[in-house]
Amino acid sequence: MRLNVKAFALACGLIWGLGLFCMAWWLILLEGNNPEPCLLNRVYPGYTMTPVGSLVGMVWGLVDAGIGGAIFAWLYNLMSKKCTKSE
């Protein structure tokens, strides 16, 4: 079975990007705007627990997980092809 690289990358990007967006808004609603740097700010520049920062984090997450998902799907397809040839 082969994975569609583009579809898998898009799915991973959407899940992670929307997850970061929802997490930021959850914390904004519970604790209010907090423009102080957080742990994810070290990974994603511009990501803060503010409305604008949540959008920045969503874009960073979409790109980051999209690239990671594409690499994973490509490697999966490569390994799957080699395993089926050897059998």
Tokens (6 digits) for 24:
């930021």
How many Å apart are CA 73 and CA 68, to the nearest integer? 9
pLDDT tens figures, 50-78:
889 899 999 999 999 999 999 999 999 99
Q: Please name the residues in contact with 46: beta carbons below 8 A apart, sequence gap of 6 or more.
A: 53, 56, 57, 60
Q: Which residues span the domain enclosing 62?
A: 5-81
How confident is the model over 30-56, as pLDDT tens digits?
Answer: 888 777 777 888 888 888 888 898 999
86 found inside a domain: no
Contact 40, 57 (CB under 8 A): yes
How many domains are there within the chain? 1
